[in-house]
Structure 1
């Protein structure tokens, strides 16, 4: 069975190319196309239907202990009005999923997981539930959309009433739209300096979505599909489960995952802690016993496509393969602002043997063609409210 978000009819009537993604019918792109949607988000703003993500409401006397036992971040550090990135680890320190934990209200937590893993995560969490914990799957009651890009805050303020979250990533607040509660979070999957993920009742979602488009369309804000959502997250080196984070790899082989892992004494014991502690020691020491490979960022130095599974070679020897890769557009800049000109370049993330460094030249093979590339630290840099592509 393929699920439909409350915006399904809107996507159809506005030319969305619908596909089955994680069990949901969602648009890959709209008539402007992936390139224009990507560029619009970077320069103006983009609106995303992300209702396919799983949403679990967790409450009860023992909710905090339960979350600290089953998630890698320290939920005790969350106060009302704050969110945190976290992961669900197995006993071997391998990811069952990555997730976000929100605390909008004093008495409850909202856990958002990947749509493709919703049922698996639900079953796993329920197996480890002890004490007085109530967990409810509210995926089909509470819709979820994202408004990302330089104009996101300006547009959102035209639509909702109430106090916006305090400045800073992971800050939360509760606003309203036409009398309906809107949960507002300064989070997102595009890497944009300004961006929000928004939760509203299923029945009010279409009106809320249209109101944001009406408020921003005259300034270049547009609806964005799955295709550009993927290129936007790739451009800022954000992981995709099943690609950079995989069930058969150590969590910390994606080095930034350490920001979602807490190994302090205050956190206490939890599932996967021992294995993650060994990974962290290797991460700090440079040894490779528990972390034989890392995720690296690679940019091509000649025109050409790279894709998942493309072998990566150094000095004629295969050192790994691309985990995500494609051609991604970017704006040319005039000073600290995007111009009217754009370009494309090949970028990807790759699961490679440890010991490689930024600046290392590599070869990538794709469809019998060999393309030159270079390991880099990142693909973009912040320029005020914008993200500017780094050139090599």
Structure 2
């Protein structure tokens, strides 16, 4: 049985089409439709319910050492109120999950994990804690709203003084009040657009949604669902767990090497990544040159040779073209290479292009 986020009734009242996703009932779209929601985020602003995400609090004198043991990135020397991306690997170097870490103090960190992996992630973390670290899954007490789009800063400025809005990308302010509601605001997102993620207590989420909707009305803000979230992240070439990565795909194969610090003394999976050497397959971008739309799990061919498989694909509303991401043999992954993707028994032309497909201007 799917769970409901604290905003379930709000979505129903707003006309959201509710579907099961990662164990929750969430809006896939509203009456406006996916294309209009996508364009609103690119041109004005959109508001998403991402309360299904998991939040795990790490505290104690060895919390930093535990995170450096669990995750591929290096969290040493990280400033307070900074956010840093990372990947959690198994011993074979496969990806258990990708996540972000917030630093609140020398002995207090928050890891935000993918909803579908929450229980698996927490079990792995709990099994691999160093003595002196406590990990607590606080997901069921936390709601998260994502305010995304070029008008997002103006919307927040209408509600808050400027010194209570995080300025730098991947920074956060953990103690802010929006009309009396305690919040944490971080300048992060999953759309490739300027935006914020706002965390609050479950019981305050409906009121916060209403405040943001009313403040955003003059700026063209509309509510957005899972459909637009997926087309936006794909346009920005942001990987999605279960598509571009899973426990059989390493973060280096998925193109996440910016979050992998092999010079770090140790982390779970490091030995396997080092032993494997340069990745034999890599994540690439494909622009569809033929007629049709490419989806995930479709075979990619160079002539008669199968060289990989797509991981995500769709028609991107803002770019006005069909694109996909794929995991391909590294030796055939040169930009500009003309390929074919097999879609329901027929081949569609595509070529390898640089990632991301869309970058905020």
The number of residue pairs the alignment matches comes to 358
User: Structure 1 residue 376 and structure 2 residue 353: aligned?
Assistant: yes
Shift of residue 161 of structure 1? 4.9
User: Structure 1 residue 327 and structure 2 residue 305: aligned?
Assistant: no
1:317-356 correspondence to structure 2 within 5 Å:
317-330=305-318, 344-355=320-331, 356=333
Aligned to 2:17: 17
1:75 match: secondary structure: coil
- Following superposition, which runs of at least 4 residues in structure 1 exceed 4 angstroms of deviation? none
Shift of residue 219 of structure 1? 2.1
CA displacement 1:74-128 (0-9 Å, x = unmatched): 1213211101000111111110111100113454111000000000111111111
Question: 1:135 & 1:35 partners in 2: Cα distance?
Answer: 40
Aligned to 2:344: 367
| Aligned CA distance change for structure 1 residues 34 and 44 (closer, same or farther; 3 Å) | same
User: Structure 1 residue 309 and structure 2 residue 301: aligned?
Assistant: no
| Aligned CA distance change for structure 1 residues 206 and 227 (closer, same or farther; 3 Å) | same
Please tell me whether the aligned partners of residues 68 and 267 of structure 2 are also in contact (alpha carbons under 8 angstroms): yes
**Structure 1 length-normalised TM:** 0.88
2:359 match: secondary structure: strand
Please tell me whether the aligned partners of residues 172 and 185 of structure 2 are also in contact (alpha carbons under 8 angstroms): yes
Shift of residue 245 of structure 1? 0.8
Question: 2:114 & 2:159 partners in 1: Cα distance?
Answer: 28
**Structure 2 length-normalised TM:** 0.95
Aligned to 2:38: 38
Question: 2:35 & 2:322 partners in 1: Cα distance?
Answer: 13
2:257 match: secondary structure: helix
Deviates more, 1:37-46 or 1:153-162: 153-162
Question: 2:296 & 2:131 partners in 1: Cα distance?
Answer: 43
Aligned to 2:54: 54
Please tell me whether the aligned partners of residues 156 and 165 of structure 2 are also in contact (alpha carbons under 8 angstroms): no
| Aligned CA distance change for structure 1 residues 72 and 13 (closer, same or farther; 3 Å) | same
1:100-119 correspondence to structure 2 within 5 Å:
100-119=100-119
User: Structure 1 residue 177 and structure 2 residue 154: aligned?
Assistant: no
1:81 match: secondary structure: coil
Shift of residue 372 of structure 1? 1.2
Shift of residue 182 of structure 1? 1.3
Aligned to 2:190: 189
Aligned to 1:269: 266
Question: 2:61 & 2:32 partners in 1: Cα distance?
Answer: 49
1:163 match: secondary structure: helix
Question: 1:382 & 1:204 partners in 2: Cα distance?
Answer: 32
Unmatched segments (≥5 aa) in structure 1: 283-290, 332-343, 384-392
